């Protein structure tokens, strides 16, 4: 296929790229009001009384009594209320809004509101399972009955904050009897469906528009539905435009995070050192409600074997409820927690057996036609051996590993293998999403892409236009892709799960082919395409058996570090990455995703610390919660392997999440080599390094 890259000065030329993009906070309407959220100050209890001062004219309190429909956020589980009636379940839970024309007055009112609680004992221990899942492969637990040797370890991962540049925010207004919301969102139809449920209005009276989004990483998947419901109730009550934009500290303490996880892995080892079976127990902290946690747990469990084939498997998992901020979507969606655990575990098994870790791991690499963890099939070629060799050569891994192992140089180098399932798990695309895309060509022969996919910084507005213009063989200036508006675009599904290019782009490509085959110059034409599940994809949600994903992307990360053993400070000195993402539609966009993804991945492994005390998040801003800057990162080399997927546009698969999931184990292994101590918990902070050096195990 010929190169379809285009000069950067032509990208989004129809918008002139003036730098005047409008984010949610940039929208203003005549007579608009502002909203401030009043939040719970306790982790668990009942509201006994709320004392509100006398409100000036034009100011309002908005709470559960103003909700005309259902008082819950519609997504998967209906356990997140829009506003609590009597019970609060975490610190920072929104109790009500104060709404009015002047921010200063709103803050004065907010400071005078007194909420009297009847405190109850909060639960912070992981003991209350709200959801339990299980699946097995091969002999499962039976294979442990005559084990020659059993090796077991427990791994822990912490919170991770999305740290998007733009905080959560929306503005909305009434247009006659129709309510319109404009916001920083990933999933316009998630928001619209939540509003239909909360407001009790038909869909044609609700309009959701995506404003320019300043980053999301999953943090604007489900959470904006809660904010939208609260804002919409305020708009209906006041009959005026209302704006609600969070401050940074408010955003951090009250929005969803990556789930902390505790994962216990047990291996059955034969007399000759063969890994015969794996048992995995996966626990994630859902926080105060389940929300998306069940889907996050599912993806974590499915990734239990990582990029390896293990014939006998028993996997169980639980979502635990605690009185802490709810956790939810974050780039990788459960896979980073599990990939960290299984990558470290296989490495530790090899060391316990006195084997070379790299050679031991290579022995179990998944191959084409192998059975997946859920008894599906890896149908497409798996290029991992070639990719691993490329990573080894580029990083000089073997020579460095030998040198750093034999000599105590405070240096280490780690390599991770990983994969990521593209699209929604199992039958999600066919049974729940049912994506539809549309292309409209106007009488001027300008083709308009009409999809609900959101550009949140990953470049989809560029890549989709390139895709369509390439297929139509028309200049990219003749293809437009405006910010999604539910009044004009069909529901092509949420911008999540590494599905946008493979699923939505695949449908769009087929739609463009229809247009090209039936092109009539100077006439308006509209073509649509609906998602159809490949017939070979079979999935049983209850037993978690079958093909969990239609395709898989694969990756290898190598990270080299230097550790100051006096202070415990880690300095990354080299990063090498190799990815199979099918086909790169725009190489520069892919490389941008790769650089950002590995930065988040390694930071998850050694830098980003977030914890709670008595249910309260301790790191409340970007001074306390440290994320990497360009100065924290070394030179990065990234290599892309072509391995086209038949149903993806030009063979493209998913890339957005893949580039994050391998970073943590790669840097954890490098630190482990440098300090000669076993790592089982991330982030590997200076404090934990000093503890390991003084009291850890080799």
Question: 30-76: per-residue pLDDT in tens?
Answer: 999 999 999 999 999 999 999 999 999 999 999 999 999 999 999 98
97 shares its domain with 226 = yes
421 shares its domain with 349 = yes
Helix (H) or strand (E) holding 347: helix 335-352
Q: Answer whether residue 90 is part of any domain.
A: yes
Alpha-carbon distance of 80 to 243, in angstroms, equals: 22
Q: What is the pLDDT of residue 2?
A: 36
Q: Answer whether residue 182 is part of any domain.
A: yes
Helix (H) or strand (E) holding 464: helix 460-472
Which two tokens mark 187?
A: 């999933």
Q: Which residues, other chains included, contact 381 with Cβ-Cβ below 8 Å and sequence gap of 6+?
A: 368, 643
Last residue of a domain, one of 530, 554, 571: 530
Q: Answer whether residue 134 is part of any domain.
A: no
Taking residues 620-638, what's their average pLDDT? 95
Q: Is the peptide bond before 683 cis (omega within 30 degrees of 0)?
A: yes
* The pLDDT of residue 13 is above 80: no
- The answer to whether the beta carbons of residues 231 and 338 sit under 8 Å apart is no
Q: How many domains does the chain have?
A: 3
366 shares its domain with 218 = no
Q: What is the pLDDT of residue 426?
A: 82
524 shares its domain with 553 = no
Query: pLDDT tens for residues 493-503?
Result: 999 989 999 99
Give the other-Cβ count within 10 Å of 311's Cβ. 16
Q: Which residues, other chains included, contact 326 with Cβ-Cβ below 8 Å and sequence gap of 6+?
A: 80, 90, 256, 286, 287, 288, 289, 291
Taking residues 474-478, what's their average pLDDT? 97
HEC profile for 359-425?
HHHHHCECCCCCECCCECECCCCCCHHHHHHHHHHHHCHHHHHHHHHHCCCCEEEEEEEEEEEECCC
Q: Answer whether residue 4 is part of any domain.
A: no
444 shares its domain with 369 = no
Q: Answer whether residue 634 is part of any domain.
A: yes
Alpha-carbon distance of 577 to 579, in angstroms, equals: 7
* The pLDDT of residue 5 is above 80: no
Alpha-carbon distance of 416 to 665, in angstroms, equals: 6
Mean pLDDT of the chain: 95
Q: Answer whether residue 434 is part of any domain.
A: yes
392 shares its domain with 446 = no
What one-character-per-residue DSSP string does 145-208 give? TT-SEEEEEEEEE--B----SSPPEEEEEEETTEEEEEES-S-HHHHHHHHHHHH---GGGEEE
* The pLDDT of residue 592 is above 60: yes
567 shares its domain with 616 = yes
Alpha-carbon distance of 668 to 557, in angstroms, equals: 12
Last residue of a domain, one of 225, 254, 283: 254
pTM of the model: 0.95
Which two tokens mark 208?
A: 């959701």
What CATH number does residue 200 fall under?
3.30.365.10
Q: Which residues, other chains included, contact 664 with Cβ-Cβ below 8 Å and sequence gap of 6+?
A: 157, 336, 339, 340, 416, 601, 602, 604, 605, 606, 682
* The pLDDT of residue 4 is above 70: no
Query: pLDDT tens for residues 350-360?
Result: 999 999 999 99
Taking residues 570-598, what's their average pLDDT? 96
508 shares its domain with 641 = no
Beta bridge partners, 547, equal none
Last residue of a domain, one of 478, 504, 530: 530
- The answer to whether the beta carbons of residues 170 and 181 sit under 8 Å apart is yes
618 shares its domain with 563 = yes
498 shares its domain with 414 = no
568 shares its domain with 625 = yes
Taking residues 409-424, what's their average pLDDT? 96
202 shares its domain with 311 = no
Burial of 348 (0-12, 13-18, 19+ CB in 10 A): buried
Which of 250, 245, 261, 268 lies closest to 183 in space, CA to CA? Answer: 245
Alpha-carbon 389 to chain mean position: 29
Q: Answer whether residue 669 is part of any domain.
A: yes
HEC profile for 611-660?
CEECCEECCCCCCCCCCCCHHHCCCEEEEEECCCCCCCHHHCCCCCCHHH
Domain range enclosing 61: 24-121+163-254
Taking residues 448-472, what's their average pLDDT? 96
Q: Answer whether residue 10 is part of any domain.
A: no
Give the other-Cβ count within 10 Å of 630's Cβ. 7
């Amino acid at each position: 296929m010929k190169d379809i890259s285009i000069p950067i000065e032509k990208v989004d030329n129809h918008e002139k790229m003036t730098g005047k993009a409008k984010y949610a906070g940039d929208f203003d309407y005549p007579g608009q009001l502002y909203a401030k959220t009043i939040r719970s100050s306790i982790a668990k209890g009942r509201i006994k009384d709320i004392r509100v001062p006398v409100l000036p004219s034009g100011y309002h309190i908005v709470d559960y009594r103003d909700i005309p429909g259902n008082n819950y956020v519609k997504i998967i589980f209906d356990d997140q209320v829009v506003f609590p009636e009597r019970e609060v379940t975490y610190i920072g839970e929104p109790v009500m809004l104060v709404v009015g024309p002047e921010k200063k007055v709103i803050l004065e009112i907010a400071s005078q509101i007194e909420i009297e609680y009847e405190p109850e004992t909060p639960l912070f221990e992981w003991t209350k399972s709200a959801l339990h899942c299980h699946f097995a492969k091969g002999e499962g637990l039976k294979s442990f009955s005559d084990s020659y040797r059993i090796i077991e370890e427990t791994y822990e991962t912490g919170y991770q904050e999305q740290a998007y540049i733009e905080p959560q925010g929306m503005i909305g207004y009434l247009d006659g009897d129709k309510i319109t919301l404009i916001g920083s969102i990933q999933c316009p139809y998630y928001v619209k469906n939540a509003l239909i449920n909360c407001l009790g209005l038909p869909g044609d009276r609700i309009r959701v528009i995506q404003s320019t989004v300043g980053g999301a990483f999953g943090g604007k998947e489900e959470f904006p539905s809660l904010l939208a419901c609260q804002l919409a109730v305020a708009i209906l009550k006041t009959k005026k435009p209302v704006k609600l934009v969070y401050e940074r500290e408010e955003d951090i303490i009250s929005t969803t995070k990556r789930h902390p996880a505790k994962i216990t892995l047990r291996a059955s080892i034969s007399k000759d050192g063969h890994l015969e079976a794996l048992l995995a127990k996966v626990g994630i902290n859902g926080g105060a409600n389940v929300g998306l946690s069940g889907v996050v747990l599912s993806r974590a469990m499915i990734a239990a074997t990582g990029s390896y084939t293990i014939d006998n498997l028993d996997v169980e998992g639980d979502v635990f409820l605690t009185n802490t901020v709810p956790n939810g979507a974050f780039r990788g969606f459960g896979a980073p927690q599990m990939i960290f655990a299984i990558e470290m575990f296989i490495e530790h098994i090899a060391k316990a057996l006195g084997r070379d870790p790299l050679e031991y791991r290579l022995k179990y690499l998944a191959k084409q036609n192998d059975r997946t963890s859920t008894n599906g099939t890896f149908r497409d070629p798996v290029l991992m051996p070639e990719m691993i060799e490329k990573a080894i050569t580029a990083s000089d891994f073997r020579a460095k590993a030998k040198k750093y192992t034999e000599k105590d140089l405070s240096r280490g180098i780690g390599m991770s293998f990983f994969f990521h399932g593209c699209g929604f798990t199992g039958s999600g695309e066919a049974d729940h999403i049912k994506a539809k895309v549309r292309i409209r060509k106007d009488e001027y022969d300008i083709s308009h892409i009409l999809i609900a996919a959101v550009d949140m910084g990953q470049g989809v507005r560029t890549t989709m236009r390139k895709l369509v213009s390439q297929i139509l063989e028309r200049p990219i200036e003749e293809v437009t892709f405006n910010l999604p508006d539910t009044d004009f675009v069909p529901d092509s599904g949420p911008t999540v799960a590494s599905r946008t290019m493979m699923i939505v782009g695949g449908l769009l490509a087929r739609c463009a082919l229809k247009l090209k085959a039936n092109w009539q110059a100077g006439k308006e034409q509209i073509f649509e395409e609906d998602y159809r599940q490949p017939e070979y994809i079979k999935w049983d949600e209850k037993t978690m058996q079958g093909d969990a994903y239609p395709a898989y992307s694969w990756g290898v990360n190598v990270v080299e570090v230097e550790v100051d053993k006096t202070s415990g400070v880690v300095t990354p000195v080299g990063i090498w990455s190799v990815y199979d993402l099918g086909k790169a539609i725009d190489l520069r966009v892919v490389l941008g995703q790769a650089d950002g993804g590995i930065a988040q991945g390694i930071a998850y492994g050694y830098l980003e610390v977030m914890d709670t005390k008595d249910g309260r998040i301790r790191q409340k801003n970007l001074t306390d919660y440290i994320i990497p800057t360009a100065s924290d990162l070394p030179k990065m080399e990234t290599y892309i392997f072509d391995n086209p997927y038949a149903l993806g546009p030009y063979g493209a698969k998913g890339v957005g999440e893949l580039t994050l999931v391998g970073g943590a184990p790669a840097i954890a292994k490098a630190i482990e080599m440098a300090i000669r101590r076993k790592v089982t918990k991330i982030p590997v902070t200076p404090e934990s390094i000093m503890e390991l050096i003084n009291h850890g195990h080799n």
